[in-house]
Amino acid sequence: MELVLYTSAFCAPCVRARSVLREAGRLLPGATVQEVDVLSHLAESEAAGIISTPTLVVRREGTEVFRASGVPTVQQVLAAAALALD
Task: Inform me whether the pLDDT recorded for 3 exceeds 90.
Answer: yes
- Taken in order of first residue, the domains within the chain and their CATH numbers are 2-83 (3.40.30.10)
For the chain, the 3-state helix, strand and coil shares in percent, each to the nearest 5, are 35, 30, 35
Q: How far apart (Å, rounded) are the C-alpha atoms in residues 54 and 3?
A: 13
In one-letter notation, the amino acid at residue 64 is E
Q: Return d(Cα 70, Cα 73) in angstroms, integer.
A: 10
Q: How far apart are CA 46 and CA 33, in angstroms?
A: 20
Q: What's the rounded mean pLDDT across residues 32-59?
A: 96
pTM: 0.92
